[in-house]
Amino acid sequence: MKIICLSCGHKIDLGDAYDDYAGHVKCVTCGGMLDIKTEAGGLKAVTVTRERPAEPPMAPAAGLDPAAAEK
Ligand SMILES: [Zn+2]
């Protein structure tokens, strides 16, 4: 599994462990953070996140107040 860093264009060899993976990978060449998604050995999506922290994936739904529903 090899990807190309969107920041510097360097090839990153991730190995077979990343054939089915979704998460962050750090480019050793430029230090940029990449958010990647792979499936069955193929790359599905790459975005550069750099040092900015990713938003929490399980954010509570807005407008729902569990305290109001409990009685
Ligand atoms: Zn890079």
pLDDT at 57 over 90: no
Q: Phi and psi of 47, rounded to 5°?
A: -140, 150
C-alpha 39 – ligand 1 centre gap (Å): 22
C-alpha 4 – ligand 1 centre gap (Å): 8
C-alpha 11 – ligand 1 centre gap (Å): 8
Cβ 27 vs Cβ 7: under 8 Å: yes
C-alpha 31 – ligand 1 centre gap (Å): 6
Those residues with Cβ within 8 angstroms of residue 59's Cβ, 6 or more apart along the chain or in another chain: none
Q: Which has the closest alpha carbon to 35: 22, 24, 51? A: 24
C-alpha 47 – ligand 1 centre gap (Å): 12
Q: Using CA atoms, how far apart are residues 21 and 24, in angstroms rounded to an integer?
A: 9
Q: Which tens digits make up the pLDDT trace of 7-47?
A: 999 999 999 999 999 999 999 999 999 999 999 999 999 99
Sign of the C-alpha dihedral computed for residues 59, 61, 65 and 66 taken in this order: negative
Structural domains in the chain, CATH included, are 2-52 (2.20.28)
Give the pLDDT of residue 43.
93
